[in-house]
Amino acid sequence: MRSSHWLRRAAAGLAASALLGPLAACGAAGDEAGGGVRVWALEDPQNAPIIQLGIDQFNQTATTRAELATFPNAWYGLKLDSSLGALNSPDVFFNWGGGNLAQFTADNQVADLDAALAENRAVADAFLPSVLEVGKVGGKQYGLPMNGIQPVVLFYNKTVFTAAGVEPPKTYDDLLSLVDTFKDRDIIPIALPGTQSWTLLMWLEYLLDRVGGPDKFAAIAAGKPGAWSDPAVLKALTLCRELAESGAFGPEFASINYDSAGAPRLLATGKAAMLLMGSWEYSSQLSNNPDFVTSGNLGFTAFPVVTGGAGQPDSVVGNPSNYFSVWAGGRHTDAAIELLMKTLTSDAYTDALVESGQVPAINGVDAKLAGTPNAEFSTFTYRLVENASSFTQSWDQALSAEVSAAMLSNLTKLFLAQITPEQYVTAMAAVG
């Protein structure tokens, strides 16, 4: 099970929790949850107290009580894989949605939530559609969003832009023009933490979406023959290669990390003009470079449109949410489903997410965000996803571990000009 995105979210969550209103810590139950509904999630100081709050709310009226057990991220996947279907299976379990969830539904281990949602239309209608979609497999709902949304955003340094007399890019041609502008001013156009291949992936994800639309990656995720060889994939790969070769990321991007002294610092100090990163970057900057944020110099915008591309300008990529699903073979399946229906969209649960600094995947939550610190960015994030025609899950979460590893390894080679776009396509077609 891939967890690189979760680790990034956890770090950002710590910053958000500290800066935007911490919750009182709630205890987590041990591995065994007695005879009640067993809820499994990750050990996480941001989300665990919120989950416990929801459980406490449920237990006030439930005939079958629920208890929470949390586990370290490093071995949660193995624990879950070995436990589903066994006597100690959880009734409700945390997952990443998409391909991660599909591996369990393929074995008929997850309860179909469609009937329950049909009976609880208020719950079904409460979630942002593009986020709810990632909890579906084969058109059926198997997971419900249980925490905040995290789309990938184009961040920029307003001071650097103002000094150059330019505006944030609306089209890909605008972006290319900005690359030339900032190179002429000896500023790295786009900070890229090239030591970590998942940061390269964000460029390919968005460019394929803009060139070919979300269906192109959906075909890859579904394992359709020839999906990697689609002309739109080759075009997006070519654009990635051309950006790297043009100097858009600077000459040393392969040695830059994503940490407080790496790419985010380049953006904050004006040594770089832009940075493509998940929305957790805002909290990271607020924690590591607070003056940059509080001065109003951190800008943010949607990814630009590729002129002539089939993708929609309002579509986004990133981490739609994490999800709760229900084991289909448990003694408490009905009670577990009831737990999700009663808690995940409740005011108490949603308020707790907002208080922790997250943006819940809930329609109309902007009214709650308006009164919080850093409401401008939170509202921007919400609007970006609320208006999205599609929300494509980060590819390294949506694909199998084998395919994901090959994809990231070859992507590094592509950005370093060690393979061509055509060779990338050939290599991935061979993996599947």
Domain boundaries of the chain, sorted by first residue: 4-147+320-392, 150-317+400-431
- Looking at per-residue pLDDT, the higher value among 283 and 407 belongs to 407
Crossing angle, helix 231-245 and helix 421-431, to 10 degrees?
A: 130
Q: Is the pLDDT of residue 8 over 90?
A: no
- The CATH code of domain 150-317+400-431 reads 3.40.190.10
Pairing of strands 272-278, 150-157: antiparallel
Q: pLDDT band at residue 81, thresholds of 50, 70 and 90?
A: confident
192 confidence band (pLDDT: 50, 70, 90): very high
231-240 burial, b if ≥16 CB within 10 A, otherwise e? ebbbbbbbbb
Residue 131 — very low, low, confident or very high, per pLDDT cuts 50/70/90?
Answer: very high
> Rounded to whole angstroms, how far apart are CA atoms 280 and 260?
13
Instruction: Determine the Cα–Cα distance for residues 387 and 376; give it in Å rounded to an integer.
Output: 16
Domains 4-147+320-392 and 150-317+400-431 share a fold: yes
| pLDDT tens per residue, range 150-173 | 999 999 999 999 999 999 999 999
C-alpha atoms less than 13 angstroms from C-alpha of 187 in its C-beta half-sphere = 25
> What backbone torsions phi and psi does residue 37 show, to the nearest 5 degrees?
-75, 120
pLDDT band of 82, cuts 50, 70, 90: confident
Per-residue confidence at 83, pLDDT binned at 50, 70, 90? confident
pTM exceeding 0.85: yes
> Is pLDDT above 80 for 9?
no
CATH 3.90.380.10 fits 4-147+320-392, yes or no: no
**Average pLDDT rounded to a whole number, residues 181-186:** 98
